[in-house]
Each structure stands twice: as structure tokens, then as C-alpha cells.
Structure 1
Amino acid sequence: MTRYPALHRRVVIVERRLPHYRIAFFTQLRELLRKEGIELLLLVGQGTAEEAKKNDLGHLDWAIRIHTYYFLSGRLCWQPFGTYAKTADLVIVNHENKFLYNLWLLFFRRPRRLAFWGHGRNMQSRAPNGIKELFKRWTVNKADWWFAYTEMTAELIAATGFSRDSITVVQNAIDTNAMADLCRAVSHRDCSQMRERLGLTEGPIGLCIGSLYREKRLDFLLEAARRIRQRIPTFQLVVAGAGPEQQVIEAAAARCPWIHYTGPLHGRDKATVLRLADVLLNPGLVGLAIQDSFVSGTPMFTTDCGLHSPEISYLKSGQNGVMSADDLEAYTKAIVDVLSEPEVLGRLRSGSLASGLEYTVENMAIRFKQGVLACLSR
């Protein structure tokens, strides 16, 4: 049995809701902090009725449930937790305008130390200089410490004048161990069977996988795929996922026999199609789904479209994937060039797998712990 030191300090982290992909992170962070004599209290609320339809919640027996109230159709949220905040050495909250209790902490009941966790700005905002984003930038400097998702996030926060010495870059990640194991277990026979199941002929395969919504730029994807097919006649496109824009893909698949729509894939099927593909194609918004590329060794191709989440900073163009100019011809050429050069594709595959060892939930928990210790030492 592991023996822990006496818990002499307390850290509170508040989550509006607890999605399943955060379970491994909080479990590991709690263990790391206990070894440092620090108690972690994780306060979790409830999502909106619309979010409940996602069926993506996780559960931790030791997490503490708090009341959550929504206003203006979920645009504002009140999560009171003052009882826990006043006994904490450090309170960590997500940095979002909608969290009214953050303002209460900032201006009326400030805890001993207050840290923000997040992006620093809304990367997909249609009004980056609007009042919402201006207010968000104003509050950036009101915290004692920042836990930034990525290096890109840290740069955005520091650009507002916040001290770089008080920013911890956690390298946001999800638990990919199970998918990595599944990918490693995929055999040539599994790939052959999946190829037959999807009706794929011999030739290079581009895969688009994940939620299908406007920011994924599916029309751009389909036109790029058409141009690739003109230059590599055996090229085929597989799209796996669902979402509000899936009818765009369904219609394209009905017109073009070389476009294959599978619907959502999970578990072994997802691992197999990832391993079967030569390249991952996503000319639009890239976020944590980039870890599908790293865990499978299938390089991601995207564009400099300005829609990406901070995790796009994990992509090192020419090393573990490719980011082209935001131009159809440039994107098409980048993909065709790599598919035509097996050695280049092989190097990108190796780079993707190497990145999978760097951007892990285990490393994220370690970085977060280091940030907590640094903040508490102030």
C-alpha cells in the first residue's frame, strides 16, 4: 500500500461538467499531488439539457458535486462554491466569460490564490475584437497564475501583459492509451477486411474522422479530394463521423463511388481505419483530434485557416504532419506530393508516432502538478 505524507495544503479545481475524457487526467493529478502532501478537491457541476444529449459524462467517486444554475439559454452559469474556496490554498477555475462566480471570486471573495485554466481567448470567435473578447482579455491579468493549454495559449496570455513566469504550459491531452493499444494490435488481415468491408480498391486512402460541422470545411475537403483523384486516379476518401453537416458527405458519397462514408467509428473499427489510411485530411478546425494522428502514426494535413484550437501548435509542419496555405491548390499539391513520395510519408509517420509519446495525459498531469507547486511556492 502506498504511504502518503500528511496533507497540509489544499487545491480546489472547479469543472462545470466532467466529460469522460478528463477522468484519467484528474485521477493521475490527484495521485501526484497526494505524494506532495497536497489534497485535491475536484468540484463538478451539471451540464445543460442540450449537453446531456452528448452522453459523454464521466464519474469519479471522490469528486464533489456542486449546484449549477444556467441563465439565458445556457449563456451564463452560476456555480457557487465559496465554502470550499475559503479553505483552499489555491483555487483553479476555467477562464470563460459565462462563469459568473469567477467574477465574485475576482472582486468580492478572492481566495488566497486564484488561477485560470484555459485558452486566454475564444479561438473561433467571429468577433475577436468584440465586447466579449475584450472583456475576456481584460480578466486574463486578474489571476495569480495561469495553466495554459499549449505554448500558443501561453503566448496569447503573455501578450496581454501577464507575467510569463506565472504561466504553466500543460500541453492539453486526453487519454489515448486504449486507442494506442488498439492501433498497435491492428494486423494486415484487419486492414484487408476493413478495405473489403468498405468497398475500397487498391490505392492511397485519405481519411477524415470526427464530428462533421461547419468549421471542418467539408466542401473544401471534397473539392481537394476531387483534385487529388484527378492526379492520383486510385485515390479514395473515407469519412468517418457524424454531425450537423454529415448530409454534405452523404450526398458526395452517393455521387462518387470513390468517396466512402462510414458514420461514426469507435474502438477497434476506429483503430483499423486509422491504420488503413495513408493520410488524415482536415482542412478546417483541428483540435484535440490531432491525437488520432499521433496515436496511429497517420500524418495530419490541414490548412492555415485561422479556425484551429490551441492544440494545432502540436503540429510541426514537415515533421509530424503538414499545414499548407489556406488555398485549395496549395492543399491539394501538399497531399499529392507526399502521397507520391513514400520516403517522405514514412518520415511524417515516424514524426507522428514520436509526438504521440510527448503529448500524453500522463505528461499533462506532471506539468499541471509542477505548476501547482510553483504557484503555491509564491
Structure 2
Amino acid sequence: KVDWWFAYTEMSAKIVKGSGFPRERITVTDNAIDTISLINERNKLTEIQLNTLHHKLFPQDGSIASNYPTGVYCGRLTKLKEIPFLLKSLALIHEKIPEFRMIIVGDGIDSGKVDLFCKKNNWVAWVGAKQGLDRVKYLALGDVWLNPGMVGLAILDSFAMGIPLLTTNTRTHSPEITYLQHGVNGLVANHDYQSYADTVVDLLKNKEYLAKLQKGSRDSSKLYSVEIMAEKFKDGVIKCLAT
């Protein structure tokens, strides 16, 4: 029997408490990544750099990236991420908003499906896997983060970019889904193509609501970092040793 539990998130803590373990001996660490480096890299990018990158990805467009509402996805292209669901939803979104653009960052077993979709639809750009800070310039073009399948630590990338994450109520999410506050820093739609697409379309057409969620995402980025997580670990260890 352990003396102290260190839980990834509040969701994890509830599971441990539900097994009969005392809540006062559980420390929620709020699992995180190096969000500060991501934020700093994002802040270095200029409007000219973003416009240039957008035109490189979508040469058929004009020179102003902000004229094109853009979704981004960054992660593995695997079954749990429900890439076919994402692609089907993108088609529905584009039917309602023809100027909509999508950037997909990542690689995996469903990369062939993504590649084929992009070849048929020049409003979607797949840039492959990008490691570390290399992914930031692509993600910085996004207005929303689209991830209908399993959500994990990528939610912290969305916060660092200052854009809301839109997902579904699938049961496959990782503990980090706890960080998503519906209507504050993201949205959770029903798990079907049309509902998800409608949620995205409604948000992109409501500039005031979109700005609110983007601010909520920026605010949330201040709550989760490696530094904050380490501090919580330290506090938990001290409390454990004091018992």
C-alpha cells in the first residue's frame, strides 16, 4: 500500500479517491509540457512571417492569412485520433465556409488517408511530423485547434498558441481532457460528423465568441507548465514526508 499518490490531473485524483484512498494524501500535479518555450516561440513570429507561410501552404490564396479562418491539428495520425472523422468533418466545414483552411501536423498509420485528402482538396495542407519548436509556426496560423478524437497533452499546445481546442464527447480522452472548460477555453461537441462540423462553423462565424475562447485559452496557458508541475511535486513530497 502506498503512502501518497501523485495524480496526473483532477480526473486521476477522483479515480484514486473512488478506490478508497484518502483525498488529503493525493497531490494533483497537472501533467504538463514546456509551454513557456512554445509561447515564447509563438510571440517571436511576425505578421509578415505568418502571411508568407500561409501563402506557401496555400498559393491559391491572397497574401493576408487572417482573411482565411484556419483550423490546425497536431498529433499522431492514428486510430484513437479518429483521423477519418476529422477529414469528414473538414469537408462539411468547408461546404459552409469556402474560405476555411486546415493545416495538419503529424504522421502515422493514417498518413495515406490524409495525403489523399490533401491532393483532392487544396484548402488542406499536410506538413508531416514536426518536432519541438518547429511545429509552432504552423500552429500559429490557426484560429481553432480541431481534435475530435482522443485529446491528451496537445491541449496544452493549443493553450500556448492561444486558440481553443474543439473536440467531441468520445470516451477515449486522456486525463488532460480535464483542462478543457467548455465555453471557456474550448468546446465539446457530440460525437458525430455533423454536430462537430456545425460546432466549428458556428464558432468561426461568431467572431466575438471566438475571441472570448481564444482569450480563455491564453489565460489557461498560465496554469499549466513544467515549472508549475515541478512545484506541485515538491509540495506533495514535503507533505508526504511530514506525515
Picking from 101, 107, 116, the partner of 1:251 is 116
Instruction: Tell me which residue corresponds to 2:107.
Output: 242
- Are residues 1:369 and 2:228 paired? no
TM-score, with structure 1 as normaliser: 0.61
Instruction: Tell me which residue corresponds to 1:186.
Output: 45
Q: Map residues 350-361 of structure 1 onto 2, 5 A cutoff.
A: 350-361=215-226
Picking from 275, 281, 300, the partner of 2:140 is 275
Contact 2:104 2:127 in 1 (8 A): yes
Deviations 1:86-115 (A, max 9, x none): xxxxxxxxxxxxxxxxxxxxxxxxxxxxxx
Q: Secondary structure at the match of 1:227?
A: helix
Deviations 1:183-238 (A, max 9, x none): 01111011111111112534211111122111110110011111111111111221
Instruction: Tell me which residue corresponds to 1:300.
Output: 165
How far, CA to CA, are the matches of 1:340 and 1:182 in structure 2? 28
Deviations 1:130-165 (A, max 9, x none): xxxxxxxxxxxx211100000000001111111111
Shift of 1:269: 4.5
Contact 1:321 1:348 in 2 (8 A): yes
How far, CA to CA, are the matches of 1:164 and 1:263 in structure 2? 43
Q: Secondary structure at the match of 1:287?
A: coil
TM-score, with structure 2 as normaliser: 0.94
Contact 1:274 1:298 in 2 (8 A): no
Shift of 1:266: 4.0
How far, CA to CA, are the matches of 1:363 and 1:284 in structure 2? 27
Contact 1:205 1:236 in 2 (8 A): yes
Contact 1:283 1:301 in 2 (8 A): yes
How far, CA to CA, are the matches of 2:49 and 2:132 in structure 1? 13
Q: Map residues 107-256 of structure 1 onto 2, 5 A cutoff.
A: 142-199=1-58, 201=61, 202-256=67-121
Greater helix fraction, Structure 1 or Structure 2: 2
Shift of 1:267: 5.2
The aligned amino acid for 1:166 is: R
How far, CA to CA, are the matches of 2:204 and 2:86 in structure 1? 16
How far, CA to CA, are the matches of 1:284 and 1:376 in structure 2? 40
For structure 1, the 5+ residue unaligned runs are: 1-141
For structure 2, the 5+ residue unaligned runs are: 62-66
The alignment covers a number of residue pairs equal to 237
Identity of aligned residues (%): 39
Contact 2:58 2:122 in 1 (8 A): no
Instruction: Tell me which residue corresponds to 2:184.
Output: 319
When Rg is computed on C-alpha atoms for both structures, the one with the higher figure is: 1
Shift of 1:268: 5.5
Deviations 1:320-360 (A, max 9, x none): 11111212222111111110011111111111011110011
Shift of 1:274: 1.6
How far, CA to CA, are the matches of 1:267 and 1:199 in structure 2? 24
Stretch moving more, 314-323 or 240-249? 240-249
Q: Map residues 337-356 of structure 1 onto 2, 5 A cutoff.
A: 337-356=202-221
Contact 2:169 2:190 in 1 (8 A): yes
Distance change >3 Å, CA 301–CA 157, structure 1 → 2: same
Q: Secondary structure at the match of 1:284?
A: coil
Picking from 167, 170, 175, the partner of 1:310 is 175
How far, CA to CA, are the matches of 1:276 and 1:255 in structure 2? 22
Shift of 1:182: 0.6
Instruction: Tell me which residue corresponds to 1:262.
Output: 127
Stretch moving more, 263-272 or 168-177? 263-272
**Larger relative contact order (C-alpha < 8 A, sep ≥ 6)?**
2
Shift of 1:265: 2.6
How far, CA to CA, are the matches of 1:268 and 1:178 in structure 2? 8
Shift of 1:179: 1.4
Contact 2:72 2:102 in 1 (8 A): yes
Contact 1:182 1:267 in 2 (8 A): no
Q: Secondary structure at the match of 1:238?
A: strand
